[in-house]
Structure 1
Amino acid sequence: MEAAMTTMSSREFNRDVSAAKRAAKDGPVIITDHGRRSHVLLTADDYDELVAADELMGERLVIEGDDVDLDLPARSGSSLRVPTL
């Protein structure tokens, strides 16, 4: 079963921290500031599980089996460009 995710504004969080803690028992709580994500509240057990993972993020991107051919265009000139302001 997939964990529920709750979103609450920082104002809601400040008014009712206990509600945020209760919601975190069911999954991460996204706290927003001016409509943008700013923090994520997790239970201590969820956090411990997250940081205890031996797997590196890059290992999650490995595709088992056949190699993947990726045709990239040849680089031309310098890779450093001065932006036009």
Structure 2
Amino acid sequence: MPHFTSRELNQDVSRAKRAAETGPVIITDRGRPSHVLMTYEEFERLSGKRRNLVDALSMPGLSSIEFDPPRAVISVREVDLS
């Protein structure tokens, strides 16, 4: 994960924004992490905003998850109408 000091961020915001396009960027203040810079799309994804099935299924890395649910068995019951 890329790191920028507060000073580096102030001197070159464009570079930090470009770095945030590939993932979160940690901003440090006096050597300690203090903020995270990310794209608004990533923020929405992490905060649960604007979530729909298409977005959820198109998330990277899902193709490596094995999913084979058992087939549902539906049986008919007799009804007593007496």
Structure 1 unpaired stretches of 5+: 55-85
Residue identity in the other structure for 2:14: S
Alpha-carbon offset, residue 33 of structure 1: 0.4
Q: 1:33 maps to what in 2? A: 29
How far apart are the structure 2 equivalents of 1:42 and 1:15?
A: 18
Alpha-carbon offset, residue 15 of structure 1: 0.2
How far apart are the structure 2 equivalents of 1:51 and 1:8?
A: 24
Residue 46 of structure 1 pairs with residue 46 of structure 2 = no
How far apart are the structure 1 equivalents of 2:20 and 2:39?
A: 6
How far apart are the structure 1 equivalents of 2:45 and 2:7?
A: 29
Query: TM-score when scaled to structure 2?
Result: 0.58
C-alpha RMSD of the superposition: 1.5
Structure 2 unpaired stretches of 5+: 52-82
Residue 15 of structure 1 pairs with residue 11 of structure 2 = yes
> Identity percentage over the alignment?
56
